[in-house]
């Protein structure tokens, strides 16, 4: 009976907390946005470089290694742009 009274008294003093963002979350989100832009810029640069290398190999008659680079850049771009959707599927929210 005493434990029940103490339990009820303690529960009455605890309020319903509202969710708050951590103190440095705005800086972290800004860093994520910068990283997203960097990844997109790197992907575009990789596709341009691989396309130029493909044209050079075609023009000089060398081996054709650049189609693999173009395919890798395209697949990397798809993964990078769908990272949010992939993480939502993995986390389940």
Say what the pLDDT of residue 62 is.
73
Per residue in 33-88, pLDDT tens? Answer: 888 888 888 888 888 888 888 888 888 887 777 788 888 888 887 887 787 777 77
Q: Is 68 helix (H, G, I), strand (E, B) or coil?
A: helix
Q: Report the phi/psi class of residue 68: left, alpha or beta, with left for phi > 0 and alpha for psi in -120 to 50.
A: alpha
Say what the pLDDT of residue 53 is.
84
Say what the pLDDT of residue 14 is.
63
Residue 19 in this model has a pLDDT that exceeds 70: yes
HSE of 40, CA atoms in CB hemisphere, 13 A: 9
């Amino acid at each position: 009976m005493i434990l029940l009274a103490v339990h009820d008294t303690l529960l009455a003093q605890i309020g319903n907390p509202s969710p708050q963002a951590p103190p440095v979350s705005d800086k972290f989100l800004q860093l994520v946005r910068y990283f997203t832009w960097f990844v997109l810029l790197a992907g575009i640069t990789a596709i341009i470089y691989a396309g130029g290398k493909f044209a050079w190999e075609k023009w000089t008659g060398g081996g054709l290694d650049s189609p693999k680079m173009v395919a890798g850049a395209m697949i990397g771009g798809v993964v990078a742009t769908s990272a949010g959707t992939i993480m939502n599927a993995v986390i389940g929210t």
